Structure 1
Amino acid sequence: MSTTTNDRLRALLEPLAAQAGLDLEDVRVTQAGSRRQVQIDVDTDDGVDMDTIADFSRVVGEALDESDVMGDGAYLLEVGSPGAERPLALPRHWQRAEGRLAKIHLIDGGEVVARVLEADEDGALVEVQPVKGRGRAKERRLEYSEVARARVQVEFNRKDEELLDEGDDGAE
């Protein structure tokens, strides 16, 4: 759909999200067969649960039905969260990803896989992972202006650091 439709949707949805205590992360309108599909992603610093998403979906549905943003045609509404492999596009995304592993593509063409240690409004301190297990991880400060794009990575085999800190030495 046109940017105008997305802009109008954002203008309608931003205050509703703020009122619900949510950040409006993404709005996409695509064609799905004979109808349009409206996909909305919301989030908070603590994540969102299914009840919150269901409540917000009802509010959005009512607001869309009362407005002329979608016109008269049928549409399918989907409200969700950015998901496990969420993009890191804003400082709040980086702050929410503290402790998580991210794949970071740099403006200069480089690419690093790093754990986000801390983040502020200008950049993030990351622990760059060694390539193929060689060497040691190194801390590096990345300014957001150096980052072309970044995305959180799913980790299946990561041990919980709290358990490791409790002195689990592997002895039984």
Structure 2
Amino acid sequence: MTLNELKEKLEELASDHEIWIEDVRMSDSSGGILVILCDKKGGIRFSDIQLFSKEILKQEWYDQNFSERFDLEVSSPGLDFPLTLPRHFQKNKGRLVKIQHTAESVPSPLIAEIVDVIRETVILRKEKELTGEEIHLPLDQIVKAKIQIKW
């Protein structure tokens, strides 16, 4: 089974639980690990991950292709997971984000607070330099975005 076929199977199964598959990785060395990162609107709970893991293990396609060679690891994306989709930014409204982008009117990288997401545009507010001024950054101009921790 190819990685794309696996992703399709997982997305089909995940949709029954209102879960999104964010990433799938396989390390095919001895004692390989199949890592599935998933999320859910409002955030995924441990019980959601537990239930979804059990559902995966019950699948015939999993048993035939992966159970002998891989340990299954199902988890939520961590704070270091890149923000790439509108729902990633929406979920993290109010948080600081570091964004590398191609927009010429704004310095890159930019550290700002996510204010909102409207269609394919992320609305940001620079942390201190611009008092209240909003920056509208189209998603297609964002090269890399990651959450920043306030200390």
TM-score category, normalised to shorter length? 0.7 to 0.9
Compute the TM-score of the two structures, normalised by the length of structure 2. 0.86
Match of 2:22 among 16, 19, 25: 25
Alpha-carbon deviation of 1:85?
A: 3.1
Find the residue that maps to 2:59 and give its secondary structure.
helix
- Output aligned runs, 1:16-165, within 5 Å: 16-31=13-28, 33-63=29-59, 66=62, 68-70=64-66, 73-107=68-102, 110-130=108-128, 136=131, 138-156=133-151
Which residue identity is paired with 2:70?
A: Y
In structure 2, distance between residues paired with 1:135 and 1:25? 33
Unaligned runs of 5+ in 1: 157-172
Tell me how many residue pairs correspond in the alignment. 148
In structure 2, distance between residues paired with 1:117 and 1:86? 19
Q: Give 1 or 2: higher strand fraction.
A: 2
In structure 2, distance between residues paired with 1:82 and 1:64? 26
Cα RMSD after superposing both structures: 2.2
In structure 2, distance between residues paired with 1:39 and 1:97? 23
Give the structure with higher Rg (CA): 1
**Which residue of 2 is the match for residue 167 of structure 1?**
none
In structure 2, distance between residues paired with 1:89 and 1:23? 14
Compute the TM-score of the two structures, normalised by the length of structure 1. 0.77
Which residue identity is paired with 1:56?
A: F
Q: Say if 1:87 and 1:19 are closer, same or farther in 2 by CA, change over 3 A.
A: same
Query: Percent identity between the aligned chains?
Result: 27
Deviations 1:36-56 (A, max 9, x none): 211001111211111111110
For the 8 Å contact 1:8–1:69, the answer to whether it is kept is no
